[in-house]
């Protein structure tokens, strides 16, 4: 037995509206963005591993990048 059938019906209707995306359809968003204003595609681009590597390289200083570039041996030199 349910102690308050009216409250139970209200909760059921509320959950049914959430499940069927009632409010999403009633109040459509103008743009599909996050709270920061970034779109989903931008988030995927930022989180891609290649972009993260590029950002790490950008954070390095000029001298550190040059040192890494010239200190690393090239595979062709090892074969000679």
Express each pLDDT in 26-43 by its tens digit. Answer: 988 777 767 777 777 877
Percentage of residues of the chain with pLDDT beyond 70? 88
Is residue 77 very low, low, confident or very high in pLDDT (cuts 50, 70, 90)? low
Express each pLDDT in 40-75 by its tens digit. Answer: 787 777 777 777 777 777 777 777 777 777 776 655
CA atoms of 31 and 37, how far apart (whole Å): 9
Percentage of residues of the chain with pLDDT beyond 90? 22
Q: How far is CA 19 from the centre of its chain?
A: 24
For 17, 62, 68, the CA distances from 80, given in Å and listed in that order, are 72, 30, 22
């Amino acid at each position: 037995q349910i102690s308050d059938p009216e409250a139970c019906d209200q909760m059921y209707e509320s959950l049914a509206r959430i499940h069927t995306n009632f409010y999403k359809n009633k109040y459509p968003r103008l743009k599909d963005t996050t709270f920061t204003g970034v779109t989903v595609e931008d988030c995927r681009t930022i989180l891609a591993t290649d972009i993260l590597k590029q950002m790490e390289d950008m954070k390095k200083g000029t001298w550190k990048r040059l040192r890494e570039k010239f200190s690393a041996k090239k595979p062709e030199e090892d074969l000679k």
